[in-house]
Structure 1
Amino acid sequence: MKARSAFLTTERFNAQTTGTEVEYKILLPPNMPADRALPLIMHFHAAMSSSSSLEAAMPAYERAWAEGTLPAAIVVCASTPTLGGFYINHPDGPQWESLISDELPELLSSRYALAPGRGAIGFSMGGYGALKAALRNPKDYRAVAALCPAIFPAETSQTVPKHNRPSILNDLNEAMGADAKTYSSNSVHSILRGNTEAIRSQSLQIFVDCGEVDEFNLHDGALYLRETLTELAVPHTFHSVPNAGHADALAYARQDAAVRFIGEALFAANRNFD
């Protein structure tokens, strides 16, 4: 019997966490098994992007399924705003992190049989969102892969060097919070420090990669995260990619590596997967 292709569909729902209609895309695997629950992979898009990011990344998932390096899984990507969004729960405003971490998975669980333990994968702003979600909720995730994550080499708004917050990154730095407590709640490094024991006990698999000549100087933040993970004795995989920028010809191979990483973690978590 000829193998079916992966299937991508676009849906919308009225989200209570944001008070808006949210578009999302779902990618279903080829020959989707009907007799078992499947893991959920949260695909986080970058700044100035949308759920169409999943359509662009679809070949990476298809390759992994064809190679047998990714188990059958349900992949979802929600369209979220950049300004006013940033995967942040805004005080007295939209709760974009809760949308991704809670409301959307709950919606999908009413339609699909979902296995415990999600994967999270994201690029740039999406890498920031993926890390935040997984590090804050390690019991819900098996693995997180962050490519060129939009994170800073500092843990307070005032100490982020100017050259690390060009353009939209300055907006992100400000959106993370004016006061120290709010900023800390949105800082990947601070979440990691505050949740270290849970991350270790849940054996969350962590993959971070960044080009060494990233045009937005995100390599500095990635190195800072590696140092923090090492300091806290949290196991992780870190790829510092020579001669690679933010999004260039090497991006496709790096995305393939991230998807394979998620696949290995999901396979290891459940040996019943084909």
Structure 2
Amino acid sequence: MNDPSMCIARDHFASTSAGRDVDYQVLLPSDWEEGERLPLVLHLHGAMSSSASLELARPFYEDLLQRGEFPRAVVACPSTPTAGGFYMDWPDGASWEALITDEFPEHLAVKYGPFTETALIGASMGGYGALKVAFGDPDRFAAVAAISPAVFPGETPEDVPQPNLPSVLGDLHQAMANGSGDADTYVGNSVYGRARFNAHRIRDTALPILVDCGAADEFLLHEGADYLHGVLTELGIAHEFRLVEGAGHVGPAADARTRDAIRFVGAALGPFRRSNHGVHAAGEHRG
């Protein structure tokens, strides 16, 4: 098992949680053998995207594996919808969070597991989903990395300024309250609400957390990321915060930031596990 390359497998399964067939892609070592126990990394894509997101990230995973900066692992990305999805459980519809937390990993475990541990990484909408899932049950995860996460500078439906709600972000904002404006439902679907409710568990597990955002994000997500940094600091939750000067939501810095996030997750897994994760100041970026 010395081949440093990785291969993509494409598949689908009938999801009870989603009430439909769900396409997904899996990235794994080219010389993976049945029975080999590896960690699982759930790679969550952004809005208006799909499991094809993993194909775009494949060169980063493969290069870091070759460099010894990412362990042998199974990386998997399911296709989830934006409208009616948003990595949420809908009261009268599909349960997309349950798909991520339970059904999809269980399905993967039959084919590629059992897994030694599970980590989460996501960008934009996927960053929101990764943080929400991790903070909802921190004991289950080895690490979480969020790149330009779709989080807002406010904790209730009324707190979020209108400029922070363009297009799909406005849809997410409404969806967090299931379209009702109910504050309790909104908080239950909020990264901040999960962090506050489970702060003691997150601290006790010393969950490695990365929040990375460009300081020139076109959708003003840097304001939400900075707000999240403040909440986690207030709660005494250790995390790594990177606000990258001049970087937007996409652009030249995006590839380097994605690589760094993958490296961060890799450092928390198995033999790569690092013992300390600290809080870093806004503006710091580690390459």
The answer to whether the superposition gives a TM-score over 0.5 is yes
* 1:266 alignment partner AA: L
Tell me how large the CA RMSD over aligned residues is.
1.6
Maintained 8 Å contact 1:25/1:78: yes
Q: Partners of 1:116 and 1:194 in 2: how far apart? A: 27
Counterpart of 2:5? 5
Q: Over residues 29-78 of structure 1, what are the superposed CA-to-partner deviations in whole Å (9 max), with x where a residue is unaligned?
A: 23336564111000000000000000000011001100111111100000
Counterpart of 2:153? 153
1:31-46 equivalence runs, <5 A:
31-32=31-32, 36-46=36-46
Counterpart of 1:67? 67
Counterpart of 2:220? 217
**1:15 pairs with 2:15:** yes
Maintained 8 Å contact 1:50/1:80: yes
Match of 2:249 among 225, 246, 251: 246
CA drift at 1:267: 3.4
Maintained 8 Å contact 2:86/2:96: yes
**1:181 pairs with 2:184:** yes
Q: Partners of 2:273 and 2:215 in 1: how far apart? A: 35
CA drift at 1:111: 1.7
- Aligned identity (percent) is 48
Alpha-carbon distance change, 11 to 33 in structure 1, aligned in 2, over 3 angstroms: closer
Aligned length: 271
**1:265 pairs with 2:268:** yes
Q: Partners of 1:81 and 1:220 in 2: how far apart? A: 25
What is the DSSP-based 3-state SS (H/G/I as helix, E as strand, rest coil) of the residue aligned with 2:80?
coil
Q: Over residues 212-245 of structure 1, what are the superposed CA-to-partner deviations in whole Å (9 max), with x where a residue is unaligned?
A: 0100000000001000110011110000000000
Alpha-carbon distance change, 198 to 40 in structure 1, aligned in 2, over 3 angstroms: same
Moved more, 142-151 or 32-41: 32-41
Counterpart of 1:85? 85
Q: Partners of 1:250 and 1:190 in 2: how far apart? A: 30
**1:229 pairs with 2:232:** yes
CA drift at 1:137: 1.5
* 1:173 alignment partner AA: H
* 2:196 alignment partner AA: R
* 2:107 alignment partner AA: L
Counterpart of 2:197? 194
Q: Partners of 2:154 and 2:108 in 1: how far apart? A: 36
What is the DSSP-based 3-state SS (H/G/I as helix, E as strand, rest coil) of the residue aligned with 1:243?
coil
* 1:108 alignment partner AA: L
Q: Partners of 1:49 and 1:112 in 2: how far apart? A: 25
* 2:98 alignment partner AA: S
What is the DSSP-based 3-state SS (H/G/I as helix, E as strand, rest coil) of the residue aligned with 1:21?
strand
**1:127 pairs with 2:127:** yes
